[in-house]
Structure 1
């Protein structure tokens, strides 16, 4: 495992402009990483909050070479070096990514069907067996895994990740009824616009809009096995967890957290909303609300 000097980690945090408080010896080294519950000597680890630290405090010793902790009192905690930050999980994995992460190799895999009318940016990686249709645009640094379908006109921003089996931009489940009572598919003339730094999970489906585009804004993270229907709008930095189904023409605000749920069509979900696991949302949800249940009801404010 790679040896990293603690001074290198401090320099890394300084370069990124992270705000922290530290008690470290810059001459010490770490040799890899481990979880705090299964700590390995001379590694870097982290704790989530003061309660977690209290739970394991008696088990800690000076063998803990470097611990990333929240902004809490470390008096009486026996660790050799520590760094206090407001987001210990994020900083811990940022450090691991920089010093121990695999460097992404950008390449185009095998058996892909890529239209000559598609626009692909620099340093884009495309796996195997993908279909990329005409007028698709893929931004710089985006990674597309295997068996992905990007239908006509889909636009994907920079530094996105599209995991295996995702289908983006196919027509949605939209029908009208003719004079004979037969279901007739509504034509879909829109497409899908995906912003920058967006992650789309494995086997997730995002349908094209009927007239306007389906829109996924910057920083959105969509888990595996999700369904996002036609004309949906999802605001910046919203997280959507596995097996969530969002029906047509739903508008979701910024900074939301949507656990495994079903959201009825044509609803508006405000900014900074939390929707709890197993919820069935049948009414609009106002800003900063915490809702859950079937049907989902407001329980608190964020």
Structure 2
């Protein structure tokens, strides 16, 4: 790509596509089907009028990455010198999948970000081996405020268990562990959400099954409180093991987890608002952030 960054709309689109292709086979997980994702950008100087990543009708398949280098970690690479940094703003950035398929299961995702402060960064050399485009970066400019957006995730309730089964089964198979069917049920109970899950595992001649039930509440600003948690099994050996887990279970009950913290690992200051969880024939999570 050209040494000028960001260049034009086509340059940005090609950069996003290259980053997506590279991310498809990093670490132990490989994602196939990202070639079905469409990218469009509308660049005006250093500002993005719009950047859309549309995964609608994309068919993603998650498998173990047999080509992953053992022991390699993205954080192990030395960051090259920064040669240039230009700032701009993205009026609208959107990731949409209405729906996409993950392991043949329809999943709806719609994330919209507005007024995102941008930093266009050029490094002395690529930051990722084998990815020339990684000499350039598009990052949030943390020195400026103004970010706001909305999100929604949804999946049919009957598809949650099969999706978990299809994602986990090939990964566990790498360790010669056979996973039976995973059953997951989510339903509303007043202001609370009740989650039930069960699964069976076989390793060599050993078979074990377990079940778990949890009741949680979610506030409008994304704080999750675990109100109840129980574990059980029909397998005598697993029952004994669960006895030793009781103290840890008791420690979890009553604990709160702030879902907004996932955005604040680097002090971004992003907060969640108006979180809504829907249950019934569809499990959905929607809200705003700023």
TM-score (norm 1): 0.20
More strand by share: 2
Bigger Rg, structure 1 or 2? 1
TM-score (norm 2): 0.20
